[in-house]
Structure 1
Amino acid sequence: MVHRRMLCCIEREHNCYNGSSGKDHDASTETHFDAEDGEDTVGNAFDGIQFRKAILSTVPVVDAQARLVLPRLPVLRPHVRMAHHLRILTALFPTDNSCLKIYDLAVQKARYSETEPTETEFESGMRAYHDIIDILSEYKDDTTNTNVVSA
C-alpha cells in the first residue's frame, strides 16, 4: 500500500509533468494525520510536537551522554540501531523491560516507518530516553565522585 504522502507527491509530479497548474489541485488530497498517527490536536499535551522529529532529535543527546561515560565509544553511524551502538554499556541498563530496547524500537520506528509514531509509542520512547539519560548521568556522576575521592 502506498503511503498517503507518497500519493500526494506523485499526483503533484504528474500535474507538473502534464503541464497542469497547481491551482487546480484539490484541497481534499492534502495529507492530514489523526492524533493517533502522530499529529497533534488543539489543546492536547503534545500540541505542536512532531513525534518523529522529537524522537530522532534525542539520538545525538544519548550518544553525547554515553560518550561522557565511555569516551572511546565508536562513532555513531546513521543507520546503526541504538541498542547496537550502546551494546558496550548494556550492563548499566536493567535487563527486564529494558529502557534501551524500548528506546531502540522507538528510534527504529521514527527512522523507517511509513507512519508517524502514535502518542503511546512517543510517550514510551521519551520515557525510555529519560531513563537512559538518568542512568548514564548517574553512572557518570558516580565515576566522577570515585575519581575525586581516590585522588
Structure 2
Amino acid sequence: MISHTISPKLLRTISETSYALLVLLTVVATGLSCAALLSQAVRTAPNRNWTKNFNALVIGASYIVVLAASLLLCVKRRVAVRLKLQRISKTPKTLEKSDLPKSVHWYIAHEYYRACLISYESLPKDIVHEGWGRPGTPYAGQRFRRVLLDTIPQIDSLARIVIPLQPPMKPHARVLHHFRFIAPLLPLDEDKISSLHYYDAAIQIARISDRELTEEEFLTGMQAAEEIMRCLEICRPDRSDSSSTQLNDCPHET
C-alpha cells in the first residue's frame, strides 16, 4: 500500500539514507565499544599504562582483524555480484536443449510434464453444481440465472431496432408483457405456443424462484431467446430494401 503512494525516487532515497544511518551507527557503536574495552584494559593493568599491556594489544588486534575481515567480505561480495551480472546476456535469448546440460534439461522437462499432468488431473470431472454449467458443456462454469437474465437487454435492443416505439423496459415487468409487440413476428409450435412464452417462463423462474434453474430449464430458455433474436434479426430494417419485403421475410402467427 505504501509503495503505491510514495514515489520510487523517494523510496530509494529513504532506503539509501536508512542504510547509511545503519552503517554509521554500527561504526560508532563498534568504536565506542573498542574504546571502552581499551580503557578498561588500561585501568586494570598493573602499571596502568599502554606499555607492555597485553590485554590492550589483544583487544586492538581483535578489532583490527574484524575490520579487515568485514572489508574483505564486502569487497568479495561486491566483486562476485558484479561478475555474475556481467555474465547475464543483455539481449533476449531463448534457451535451447543444447544450451543446458542433459541432466538439467531432463529435469526441467520432467517437472513440466509432471505439472501439466497434475493440472489436468485436478480439473473437475462429472461434477454438477446446482444452477451452474457442467464441465465439458458450452456453458461450463457459467451461472444459468445470470446468463439467461443477460439475454433480456440483448433482445430489447433488437426489438427497438425493429419497433422503434417499443416501450422502455421496467425492472419487474414480465417479458411476455414487455415484448408483446413482437409476439406477432414469432412463429407458433404445434401447441400454438410461441418461443416468447417459453422464454417468459424461464425468465420468471430465474427472477423469482428460490431455487436455481435446472439445465433443462436453462436450455429451454436459451433456445427460446435465440429463436426470438433470430426472428428479430430477420425483421431488421437494414436487412431488406423496403418495409414490404421486410414484412414478407418475417415469420407470422398462423
Quick check: 1:88 aligned with 2:181? yes
Distance apart, 1:118 and its partner CA? 0.5
2:213 paired residue among 112, 117, 121:
117
Letter in 2 for 1:74: P
What is the identity percentage for the equivalent residue pairs of Structure 1 and Structure 2?
A: 37
- Which residue does 2:194 correspond to in 1? 98
Whole-Å separation in 1 of the counterparts to 2:220 and 2:135: 22
1:36·1:118 contact (CA, 8 Å) conserved in 2?
Answer: no
Q: 131, 134, 137: which is aligned to 1:38?
A: 131
How far residue 131 of structure 1 moved from its aligned partner, in angstroms, is 0.3
Equivalent-residue separation in structure 2 for 1:112 and 1:60 (angstroms):
18
Match of 1:66 among 155, 159, 167: 159
Matched positions, count: 116
**Structure 1 vs Structure 2 CA RMSD:** 2.3
For 2:173, give the aligned amino acid. V
Q: Which has the higher contact order (CA 8 A, sep 6+)?
A: 1
* Aligned partner letter, 1:133: M
2:231 aligned with 1:135: yes
**Structure 2: unaligned runs, 5 residues or longer:** 1-126, 246-254
2:148 corresponds in structure 1 to 55
String of CA shifts for 1:29-80, please: whole Å, max 9, x gaps: xxxxx83732334334431110000001000000000000011111000101
Change in CA separation of 1:42 and 1:145 when aligned onto 2, cut-off 3 Å: same
1:107 maps to a residue whose letter is I
Task: Give 1:135's aligned amino acid.
Answer: C
Matched-pair contact (CA < 8 Å) for 1:83–1:104: yes
Q: Which amino acid aligns with 1:47?
A: A
Between Structure 1 and Structure 2, whose CA radius of gyration is higher? 2
Relative to the length of structure 2, the TM-score reads 0.42
Deviation at 1:101, TM superposition (A): 0.4
Q: Deviating runs (4+, > 3 A) in structure 1?
A: 40-45, 141-144
Q: TM-score, normalised by structure 1?
A: 0.69
